[in-house]
Amino acid sequence: MENLEINVFGELQILVNDLDISQTIWASKKKTALLEILILNRQRPMSVERLAEMIWGEDEEINAENALKTLISRLRKDLEENGLPGAILTIPGGYMWNPDLPAKIDVFRMEDLCHTLSNVESLDPDVRDQFEELLHIYTDDLLTNSSLSKWITPKSVYYHDLYLKTVYRYIDLLNKEKEYGDVIRVCKIALDIDAFDSVLNLELMSALLNTGKSKEALEQYQNTTNLQYTHLGLKPSDEIINFYKELIKGEKNSEAEIEEICEELRKGQPGAGAFVCEYAIFNDIYHLQMRNLKRLDTAMFLALVDVRRMDNRQMEALELKQVMARTLDLLRENLRQGDTISRYSPLQYVILLPSVENAKMVRMVIERLKRQFYSNSKNAKYIFGYSVTPLVVDD
């Protein structure tokens, strides 16, 4: 009996006695598609009509039944020549993968592992081995290069979500054991699969902080928010923003004299231009300024700057990153040190302008920024828009 292993996460791979025979099948997209369908439905007979519909769609010029017979014959021949006779069975009205053919198929092993691990409450050695096996099996989404995307995509989403759900369970159990080093390792493995997942990013940052790696946690936060803004066009989740607020507070493990604190504060000299911060900090600064607004009898304004393409087309990730970086540099360099800037959305910056006399002066400032924006030839195809409003204290 041949030793058969089939992998469908990533590209289709068929190993017969450790020899990959996939290249033989890949020569024909139709043969590959037929094999993918039969393998993923290994316990289900597939009718001629259903197979023809999935492979040829609504192509009325094809005699689907005859074309399918020919395709089955060629696929069987390829499999037989590579040591897999009897892999495809003919049944009344259709075909199916031979369920009695001994084979290790990664997708079904992964599904069994996930269901087994869904209710575990502790990490004994066997459970750990099963979680680690899952991490080893699921290295990519389902059949990433398949021509059957319409049929594959829902299945791929199902297995992707099942994988993440099980990884979350592993991380929860590792956190209970305070095994933060393993949490970091598992998160990094899973983030190679889904770099945008908020739960994984938050767990990684928390584990880094728990192991005293606050600098790495901050770097991970910055990487995460950049990904969210530039690739998904989304603001980071509230949980991630709140984590950042806790992170920047720092950890003080001992009491200090006031002179020591003053010396520490003096080391952080303010940079030139306006202050740039995360939106969570911007929000705190806003509330602090509002407390002083009535007491000091001063005016304060809020400005919102947005940058868009003139043709209204959506920007690619790199383009968005570059134009928003140029805009931030312009705002920071040309506003005062007492002003505060933060990224509010992928295309917008929000600006806090304290101690400004009136709305006319604010508009003069922003119009000056607008002229400088257009003076840069790299911004020729973009629109610099803005709105301004006075901030009023609630009595």
9, with CB counted inside 10 A (0-12, 13-18, 19+), is buried
* Domain final residue pick, 147, 177, 207: 177
Query: Is 169 in the same domain as 63?
Result: yes
Which pLDDT value is given to residue 269? 60
Query: Is 151 in the same domain as 5?
Result: yes
User: What domain range is 381 assigned to?
Assistant: 275-390
Query: Is 171 in the same domain as 295?
Result: no
157: its two tokens: 């989403």
Alpha helices in the chain (DSSP H): 22-26, 29-40, 48-56, 64-81, 106-117, 125-137, 149-176, 180-193, 198-210, 214-227, 238-249, 258-267, 279-296, 317-334, 359-375
Tokens 């840069």, residue? 376
Which pLDDT value is given to residue 5? 92
Tokens 């940052």, residue? 205
Which pLDDT value is given to residue 242? 77
Query: Is 169 in the same domain as 33?
Result: yes
Count how many domains the chain has: 2
* Domain final residue pick, 177, 192, 225: 177
Query: Is 21 in the same domain as 169?
Result: yes
Which pLDDT value is given to residue 151? 87
* Domain final residue pick, 125, 153, 177: 177
Q: What is the DSSP letter of 275?
A: E
Q: How far apart are CA 95 and CA 70, in angstroms?
A: 13
213 lies in a domain?
Answer: no
197 lies in a domain?
Answer: no
232: its two tokens: 């998904």
Query: Is 164 in the same domain as 286?
Result: no
201 lies in a domain?
Answer: no
Which pLDDT value is given to residue 232? 61
Q: How far apart are CA 379 and CA 356, in angstroms?
A: 28
Provide the b/e sequence for 121-152 (b: ≥16 CB within 10 Å).
eebeeebeebbeebbeebeebbbeebebeebb
Query: Is 40 in the same domain as 163?
Result: yes
208 lies in a domain?
Answer: no
236 lies in a domain?
Answer: no
CATH number, domain with residue 62: 1.10.10.10
CATH number, domain with residue 304: 3.30.70.270
289 lies in a domain?
Answer: yes
120 lies in a domain?
Answer: yes
Element (H, E) at 350: strand 348-354
Which pLDDT value is given to residue 287? 86
Q: How far apart are CA 262 and CA 106, in angstroms?
A: 60
Q: Give, to the nearest 10 degrees, the angle between helix 180-193 and helix 149-176.
A: 170
CA dihedral 100, 101, 105, 110 (to 10 degrees): 20
CA dihedral over 210, 213, 217, 220, signed as positive or negative: negative
For the chain, 395 residues long, give each residue's pLDDT as a single digit of tens.
Answer: 468 999 999 988 999 888 888 777 767 888 899 999 999 998 889 998 899 888 887 665 677 788 899 999 999 998 988 888 899 999 998 999 998 888 899 999 999 999 999 989 999 999 999 999 999 999 999 998 888 888 899 999 999 999 999 999 999 999 999 999 999 999 999 999 998 888 999 999 999 989 988 888 888 888 888 777 766 666 677 777 777 767 766 555 445 577 766 776 666 566 678 898 888 888 888 888 888 777 766 778 999 999 999 999 988 888 998 999 999 999 999 998 889 999 988 899 999 998 777 888 889 999 999 999 999 999 999 999 999 999 877 65
Query: Is 172 in the same domain as 32?
Result: yes
Q: What is the DSSP letter of 378?
A: G
Query: Is 170 in the same domain as 300?
Result: no
Report long-range pairs for 168-176 (Cβ below 8 Å, ≥24 apart): 168/199, 169/117, 169/118, 169/120, 170/117, 170/131, 170/134, 171/203, 173/120, 173/121, 173/122, 173/123, 173/127, 174/123, 175/203, 175/207
Which pLDDT value is given to residue 234? 64
95 lies in a domain?
Answer: yes
Fill in the amino acid letter for 39: I
Longest CA span, the chain: 89
